[in-house]
Amino acid sequence: MSIENALTGKIMKYTELTSKDKKYKMLPADAKVWFKEIDINNNIKNYNEIKGPGRIIKQLLKYNNIEYRIEYPIGSTNHILSRATLIYLSEP
């Protein structure tokens, strides 16, 4: 599956963006994604709702998962949290 840049619409080359221990691969910043939102306690806010598209702003390793800060909607100042297991690279 290809990764689209949310700002330019161009396909991003897959990079080897990984954690320091090389155990986890992460999506790059500016990747366009669809996602389920989580709260600060890592709970899914609305299990049936998939939001998107959004733009990945920051990646963080949290316990056994990768947490992403996502700009949603794209071009706004709203930042939402999600995690790797709740992210899709294309519209579901």
Residue-wise pLDDT tens digits, 65-87: 899 999 999 999 999 999 999 99
The answer to whether 69 touches 79, Cβ cutoff 8 Å, is: yes
pTM: 0.88
- Please count the other Cβ atoms lying within 10 Å of the Cβ belonging to residue 35: 24
Model confidence band, residue 33 (pLDDT cutoffs 50, 70, 90): very high
Which are the contacts of 6, defined by CB distance < 8 A and separation ≥ 6?
Answer: 30, 31, 32, 53, 54, 55, 56, 74
pLDDT score recorded for residue 1? 66
- Please count the other Cβ atoms lying within 10 Å of the Cβ belonging to residue 72: 20
Residues spanned by the domain of 11? 3-88
pLDDT score recorded for residue 25? 82
CA–CA dist 30, 68 (Å, integer): 11
Give me the number of domains the chain comprises. 1
